[in-house]
């Protein structure tokens, strides 16, 4: 997931929006960490679960990364209240499905599926904050589908 994030970062620029979906432990934050590394932003890139959004300025003169966790948000209005610079940043929103209508004319949806089984039981037993420390996304294959919407990703 980290390597995929680094690769994706090479295609991203200010104004790009990514919406990440997948279960707890799927690797959404790990993917975002890779995007941050690829963009050359100040880190560490960690889950913004309790602060809702974190900004990571560029260390190389590129676009900043805004990492949003919309899990606890009830609506697009609450997301709008965060006053995110969508036009001037690369914005990654975890759990943002259905909350970004009208925010951008183009975006990438990244759907992450991980195998079910023993890891699911372990994930269910961990608090969400503990998933950051859990080794749930190590050596476990993921199926990732990236779908582009809007004129930016038409080609």
Residue (of 124, 123, 117, 125) closest to 136 by Cα position: 123
Within 10 A of 137 (CB to CB), how many other CB atoms are there?
20
Q: Please check the confidence at residue 63 and state whether its pLDDT lies above 70.
A: yes
DSSP 153: G
Q: For residue 127, what pLDDT is reported?
A: 45
The pTM of this model reads 0.82
The H-assigned helical ranges of the chain are 2-9, 28-39, 76-80, 118-125
Within 10 A of 18 (CB to CB), how many other CB atoms are there?
22
Q: For residue 118, what pLDDT is reported?
A: 46
Confidence bin at 125 (pLDDT 50/70/90): very low
What the block records as the tokens of 43 is: 């880190």
In the chain, what is the straight-line distance between the N-terminal and C-terminal CA atoms, in Å? 24
**DSSP states of 78-96 as a string?**
HHHTT---TTTSEEEEET-
Residue (of 13, 9, 17) closest to 104 by Cα position: 17
């Amino acid at each position: 997931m980290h390597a995929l994030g680094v690769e994706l970062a090479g295609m991203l620029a200010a104004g790009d929006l990514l919406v990440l979906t997948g279960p707890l432990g799927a690797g959404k934050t790990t993917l975002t960490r890779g995007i941050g590394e690829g963009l050359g932003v100040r880190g560490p890139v960690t889950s913004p679960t309790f602060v809702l959004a974190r900004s990571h300025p560029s260390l190389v003169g590129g676009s900043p990364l805004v990492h949003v966790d919309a899990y606890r948000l009830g609506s697009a209005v609450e997301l709008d209240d965060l006053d995110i610079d969508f036009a001037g940043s690369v914005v990654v929103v975890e759990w943002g499905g259905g909350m970004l209508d009208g925010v951008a004319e183009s975006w990438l949806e990244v759907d992450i599926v991980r195998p079910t089984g023993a890891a699911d039981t372990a994930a269910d037993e961990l608090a969400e904050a503990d998933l950051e420390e859990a080794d749930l996304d190590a050596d476990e294959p993921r199926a990732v589908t990236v779908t582009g919407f809007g004129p930016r990703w038409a080609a």
